[in-house]
A and B are shown apart, each in its own frame.
Chain A
Amino acid sequence: MKTKNLKLHVWRQNGPTDTGRFEDHVAENVSEHMSFLEMLDELNERLIADGKDPVAFDHDCREGICGMCSMVINGHAHGPHERTTTCQIHMRHLFDEGWDEVWVEPWRASAFPIQKDLVVERQALDEIIHAGGYISIRTGSARDANEAPIPKPIADRAFDAATCIGCGACVAACPNASASLFTAAKIAHLGLLPQGQAERMSRAKRMVAKMDELGFGGCTNHGECEKACPKGISIDFIAQMNRDLLKAVITDRDVPSGHGDGE
Chain B
Amino acid sequence: MELKSNEPTGPIDKRWTEHKANSKLVAPHNRRKHTVIVVGSGLAGGAAAATLGELGYRVKCFCFQDSPRRAHSIAAQGGINAAKNYQNDGDSIYRLFYDTVKGGDFRARESNVYRLAELSVEIIDQAVAQGVPFAREYGGLLANRSFGGAQVSRTFYARGQTGQQLLLGAYAGLARQIDAGTVKMYPRTEMLDLIVHEGRARGIVTRNLISGKLEAHVADVVVLATGGYGNVFYLSTNAKGSNATATWRAHRKGALFANPCYTQIHPTCIPRSGEAQSKLTLMSESLRNDGRVWVPRKKEDCDKDPKTIPEKDRYYYLEERYPAFGNLVPRDVASRNAMYVCEDDGLGVGPKVGDEPRRAVYLDFADAISRLGKDVVIERYGNLFEMYERITGDDPVETPMRIYPATHYTMGGLWVDYNLESTIPGLFVGGEANFSDHGANRLGASALMQGLADGYFVLPFTIGNYLGTVRQVSPLEDDDAICRDAIRDVKARIEKLMNAPSPKHGPDHFHRLLGNIIWRYCGMSRSRDGLKEALRQIPVLREQFYQELKITPTKDEGINQTLERAGRLEDFFELGELMCIDALEREESCGGHFRVEHQVDGEAKRDDENFQHAAAWAWTGDTAAPKLHKEALSFEYVKPTMRSYK
Contact = CB atoms under 8 A, between A and B. Distances in A.
A149 interface: yes
Interface string B35-73: 000000000000100110111100000000111111010
B593 to A, nearest CB: 27
A137 B129 CA distance: 7
B642 interface: no
Interface stretch (B100-108, B169-177, B327-335): B169-177
B176 A136 contact: yes
B484 to A, nearest CB: 28
B584 to A, nearest CB: 33
A74 interface: no
B241 A139 contact: no
B504 interface: yes
B72 A159 contact: no
Interface stretch (B3-11, B217-225, B277-285, B340-348): B277-285
A58 interface: yes
A5 to B, nearest CB: 15
Interface stretch (A140-148, A217-225, A244-252): A140-148
B376 interface: no
A178 interface: no
A107 to B, nearest CB: 12
B129 to A, nearest CB: 4
B471 interface: no
Residue in A41, A126, A263 with the greatest tally of chain B CB atoms within 10 Å = A263
Nearest to A35: B278
A11 to B, nearest CB: 14
A151 interface: yes
B90 interface: no
Contacts of A150: 136, 140
Contacts of B168: 162
A42 interface: yes
A248 to B, nearest CB: 18
Contact of A162 (B133, B136, B173, B176): B133
Given A53-B553, A88-B390, A262-B182, A159 B158 contact: yes
A109 B5 CA distance: 53
Interface in B165-222: 165, 168, 171-173, 175-182, 185, 187, 210
Task: Bin chain B's interface residue count.
Answer: 35 or more
B125 A139 contact: no
Nearest to B392: A33
A60 B72 contact: yes
Given A145-B84, A263-B32, A62 B456 contact: no
Interface stretch (A98-106, A169-177, A187-195): A187-195
A133 B175 contact: yes
B126 A49 contact: no
A110 to B, nearest CB: 18
B558 A260 contact: no
Q: Give chain A's interface residue range (CB within 8 Å of chain B).
A: 35 or more
A260 B177 contact: yes
B552 A139 contact: no
B469 interface: no
B164 A65 contact: yes
Interface in A164-208: 165-166, 189-190, 193, 195-196
A122 B126 CA distance: 29
B1 interface: no
Given A60-B241, A142-B122, A146-B84, 12 more contacts: A66-B70, A116-B559, A126-B175, A130-B178, A134-B179, A149-B136, A150-B136, A162-B131, A162-B165, A195-B130, A196-B131, A260-B176
28 contacts: A32-B393, A34-B276, A35-B391, A42-B276, A44-B506, A48-B506, A49-B550, A56-B559, A59-B240, A60-B72, A60-B241, A61-B74, A129-B171, A131-B179, A134-B176, A135-B130, A137-B126, A140-B456, A145-B84, A145-B124, A152-B137, A155-B140, A158-B131, A189-B131, A195-B131, A262-B176, A262-B180, A262-B182
Nearest 8 CB-CB pairings of A with B: A149-B140, A142-B129, A134-B172, A260-B180, A33-B273, A48-B506, A142-B125, A145-B128
Interface of B: 32, 47, 50-51, 53-56, 65-70, 72, 74-75, 84, 86, 122, 124-131, 133-142, 158-159, 161, 164-165, 168, 171-173, 175-182, 185, 187, 210, 239-241, 273-274, 276-279, 281, 351, 390-393, 456-457, 460, 504-506, 508-509, 550-553, 558-559, 561-562
